[in-house]
Structure 1
Amino acid sequence: MAIPELVRHRPHPSLAGLVAGIVGLSELADDPVERRQPAGSLLPLVVSFGDPLEVVSLSDGEGTGRYSSFIAGFMPGHATTRFVGTQRCVQVYLTPLGAYRLLGLPGQDLARRVTSLDAAAPFLGGSLPERLAETATWAGRIGAVEQALLSALDAGPEAEPVVAWLWNRICRSGGRARIDNLVNQTGWSHRYVATRFRDQIGLSPKAASGIVRFERATADLGRGALAELAAAHGYADQSHFTREVVRYSGEPPRALLAAQRPTAYTALGAGPP
């Protein structure tokens, strides 16, 4: 297998808070390559002009099959993918707020599933993959995808302020903030906030918070004893931490660290904020 080519791009300032990053990826494999993708808070949107990628399994979701261009919604579990041949694509890492704004779809319509781009975002499907294949440089390919996203800004809905506020507070706390306390600060009923949040973000506040906490905690693997990491990130104990890591990644912490599983933040060259 040839060494993958990865080109990173910082999104246009107008996409701040909506797009965490954009990358161009080219990879050649003569034999099937199978990878496990842990759960994460960013939603990968893939505009492909190479061979299809097979979604082999989803631990908590649906949508297995072969895809050219697709988006993977917010998922509280891990995925296994496989490809052979040439993978060439532009990958956009959307925040849940970004998916709602740029695609104009309720988050709950995308969550726990893989959806073809023609169904989820026709403006990024259609002839765009062909244009990318005909474009000679990664700068040109990424620029074409970014321009399509910028053009979608004015057409999509903005998340309700209470939803955006709650999501941002969950992220700022690293998933450690108590949801009941945050909801009480909004002045709205728990039922109202949870319903609006699930509709626009895709998962319940508690489920989304669990993924953010897992993401932050596993970014620190190897920087201390597991019991210390568990306490630092608000888990009851090391056993609780281990169970949550297995739930979201499919393997215990030490195995996850040794395997160096790819994540969105790995592709972007940075850890979770």
Structure 2
Amino acid sequence: MILRQITPKPELTKFIDNFWVFENDVGLPTEDSRVIAPNGKAKFIYTYLNGLSTIDCGIQTDHKEQDIFFIGIWNKPVTLVSKNSITGTVGIELTANGLHRFTQLSAAEIVNKIYSFTDIYGAAGRELLERLANTGKLDDKIEVLQNFLIRIIRMIDRNNLLIDHSVQLIKNTSGLLTINQLVKRMGYSRRYLDMLFKDHLGISPKTYAGLIRFQEFYTRWANTDDKKFYQEDIYEMYYDQAQFIKEFKKYTGYSPRNYAQMKNDFGKIFYKK
């Protein structure tokens, strides 16, 4: 199981938070729970070898090989499965304020949803998939994909400095900035900020802050083998244990105690430092 990091082109750097290639000889590990906790980032997933399937609320949806998927921000966990064969996947995780640079759709239309590039970009998306299928080397495929994304952001030319600044404030405080504090700092009403966030991110500032706070904790979780560390550290991020347990179940589907006993190396690999 290999996870290789890719450096995006300079034109995309501001809008991409993480760019990786995942490869495995036998698909996704069947002995692993494969629970993916939400991280507040929209994604492009290119399955160049083997398809992927998602299990959400017990419902499995299959996503075919040689397709690219536009995934909006999720605020709930999802489980991944695949066929037992050689697997190769390119993942591009967008910055929260980078999502709206790649589509003229309201982000609220794609939150917790997965679309093929052909659904989002029509004929241009179909032409991209055909070109990728006819391109041999993986590095050349990545070059083709990046050039397509650069053309998209230039064509859409969609910016919002208010969203940029608001997202950065929430990230800089690890999601601990209250919405009242955000309203005061930005000088706009809560209602207006809610509307703006849902159009550009798909979720409210409060939901986004909750995701960022959870990710701060979850990254620590993924980088330690101490299964009990959270019992001492939760009060840095949460008001009390009850709030922590509620949030943890919301984003993983399990209580902290049960989750700590599960094997989820695949889910954690994306958070390893």
Q: TM-score, normalised by structure 2?
A: 0.84
Partner residue in 1 for 2:21: 24
Partner residue in 2 for 1:36: 35
Identity rate of aligned residues, in percent?
A: 21
Does 2:249 correspond to 1:243?
A: no
State how many pairs are aligned: 262
Partner residue in 1 for 2:48: 49
Over the residues paired in the alignment, what is the CA RMSD in angstroms? 2.7
Structure 1 residues 260 and 51, CA gap change in structure 2 (3 angstroms): closer
- The one-letter amino acid of 2:234's match is A
Partner residue in 2 for 1:179: 179
Distance in 2 of aligned mates of 1:268 and 1:144: 27
Partner residue in 2 for 1:67: 63
Report if aligned partners of 2:219, 2:272 keep a CA contact under 8 Å in 1: no
Report if aligned partners of 1:104, 1:157 keep a CA contact under 8 Å in 2: no
- The one-letter amino acid of 1:228's match is E
* Unaligned runs of at least 5 residues, structure 1: none
Distance in 1 of aligned mates of 2:265 and 2:173: 24
Report if aligned partners of 2:18, 2:93 keep a CA contact under 8 Å in 1: yes
Does 2:110 correspond to 1:148?
A: no
Distance in 2 of aligned mates of 1:70 and 1:241: 32
Could you tell me how far 1:111 is from its partner in structure 2? 0.6
Within a 5 Å distance, the mapping from 1:2-151 to structure 2 comes to 4-29=1-26, 33=30, 35-58=34-57, 65-68=61-64, 69-84=68-83, 85-122=85-122, 125-151=125-151
Could you tell me how far 1:127 is from its partner in structure 2? 3.7
Report if aligned partners of 1:90, 1:141 keep a CA contact under 8 Å in 2: no
Could you tell me how far 1:35 is from its partner in structure 2? 2.1
Distance in 2 of aligned mates of 1:53 and 1:184: 44
- The one-letter amino acid of 2:9's match is H
Moved more, 167-176 or 15-24: 15-24
C-alpha distance after superposition, 1:16-60 (max 9, x if no partner) = 33111222233343798462211112222112233321122158x
Could you tell me how far 1:191 is from its partner in structure 2? 1.0
Distance in 2 of aligned mates of 1:132 and 1:7: 20
* Unaligned runs of at least 5 residues, structure 2: none
Moved more, 41-50 or 28-37: 28-37
Q: TM-score, normalised by structure 1?
A: 0.84
Distance in 2 of aligned mates of 1:160 and 1:200: 9
Secondary structure, in 3 states, of the residue corresponding to 1:168? Answer: helix
Distance in 2 of aligned mates of 1:269 and 1:128: 32
Partner residue in 2 for 1:203: 203
Could you tell me how far 1:122 is from its partner in structure 2? 4.2
Partner residue in 2 for 1:226: 230
Distance in 2 of aligned mates of 1:266 and 1:175: 23
Partner residue in 2 for 1:163: 163
Partner residue in 2 for 1:267: 270
Moved more, 168-177 or 43-52: 43-52
Report if aligned partners of 1:124, 1:148 keep a CA contact under 8 Å in 2: no
Secondary structure, in 3 states, of the residue corresponding to 1:20? Answer: strand
Structure 1 residues 138 and 51, CA gap change in structure 2 (3 angstroms): closer
Structure 1 residues 133 and 7, CA gap change in structure 2 (3 angstroms): farther
Distance in 2 of aligned mates of 1:30 and 1:225: 31
Could you tell me how far 1:78 is from its partner in structure 2? 0.2
Could you tell me how far 1:83 is from its partner in structure 2? 0.8
Moved more, 46-55 or 249-258: 249-258
Report if aligned partners of 2:27, 2:87 keep a CA contact under 8 Å in 1: no
